[in-house]
Amino acid sequence: MHGGLMEDRIPIAGPSISQREIDYATDAAAHGWYARAEEYPRRFEEAFAKYIGVKHAVSLPSCTSGLHLALASAGIGPGDEVIMPDLTWIASAAPVTYVGATPVFADVDERTWCLSAESVRACLTENTKAILPVDLYGGVPDYDALRPIAEEHGLLIVEDAAEAIGSESGGRKAGTLGDVAAFSFHGSKTFSTGEGGMLVTDDDVLHARVLHLRDHGREPGDVHFQNTEVAFKYKMPPVAAAIGLGQVERANELVAKKREIFAWYREALEGVDGLTLNHEPAETKNTYWMVTAVLDPMLNLPKEKLMAALDKEGIDSRPMFHPLSSLPAYAGQSQSVVARKRNEVSYRLSPWGINLPSALCLEQAQVARVAEVFRRILGKA
């Protein structure tokens, strides 16, 4: 068994699917039509809302569509600005462009790698309408510092909780830390439906607007196809929702496995000089969607070089996100030019950070193998 384990590639990410999800998906495929067409989406939404601790949950095809709906439902559009962290995936920023608003790239905290309240203050203008914090890699920003800024300036907080299912701050789960939040159920996430997302909120007015916009601008239950405006088509199919229901019913197990994987890494890499892993501030719970390692630049092992060395050993990895303001997609935009000069922490972290294998199928022996190879590579640096 030992030899076979080491011969297989060690995957960066992937779900845990049990017989429960298979049974639900089979039932949805066979019977989730006609009168039962809405059954699994409804059950998934209700179970997810209960788990997170919110009034409303709306199942969607992606987290990106959730952020899009949140912004559109709040009336954010051309001329408005939305402040977000520079160090995140483009899916956090793209929906801002979808509604015609301008993404403003702020810097992140040195330890949590999440949006810095101090940097948000530096980015405020009369056009700022929302703050879009990202719960990066399962960690959470300092919402106690962000909330007063939002309240002082009348700003909406749209929480990108894509990577933080089960994470907590002050006893509250990720997804309840903003005014509205969106989650991802991509195949790499802690809960997976293959592709999918969920919007959650306690705001009744916003929720009603989301339901209207996600079904081509018609009221829920409309049978006469009376569209009152041009809107979107953002719904989750029953088979995906059935898998999601099984996942949320296994929530504690899946979150515990993520934290266990991180604990394995922390123990196996203890004492390695020049290495920083994900941070968990007091009063928070990090679910470590991606175990992330940031190296001291003195080691002279930028992420591309380190990833190539791991790849030769059959170990998959991913780069820490590049700052959005550095991407070709935002080249030449005035906000990018300013952000590249302002966001020192994002630009200092990104070149030296990688995501280590964090798939839910990992066993401790595989993590030990990654750590052993990692130590060997660092020893040669």
pLDDT tens, residue by residue, 127-147: 999 999 999 999 999 999 999
Query: What per-residue confidence (pLDDT) applies to 8?
Result: 85
Characterize 158-179 residue by residue with b for buried, 16 or more Cβ atoms within 10 angstroms of its Cβ, and e for exposed: bbbbbbbbbbbbeeebbbbbbb
Q: Which two tokens stand for residue 147?
A: 């909330």
Q: Which two tokens stand for residue 264?
A: 């394995």
Do 339 and 310 meet the contact criterion of CB atoms below 8 Å apart? no
| Fold (CATH) for 2-13+251-379 | Aspartate Aminotransferase, domain 1 (3.90.1150)
For the entire predicted model, the pTM comes to: 0.96
Q: What CATH class is the domain 19-249?
A: alpha beta
Low-confidence ranges of the chain (pLDDT < 50): 1-6
Query: What per-residue confidence (pLDDT) applies to 1?
Result: 32
- What phi and psi, each to the nearest 5 degrees, are found at residue 321? -55, 145
Name the residue ranges covered by the structural domains of the chain: 2-13+251-379, 19-249
Nearest CA among 327, 330, 325 for reference residue 342: 325
Query: What per-residue confidence (pLDDT) applies to 379?
Result: 87
Q: Please tell me the distance from the alpha carbon of residue 60 to that of residue 148, in angstroms, as a whole number.
A: 30
Q: Which two tokens stand for residue 271?
A: 């004492």
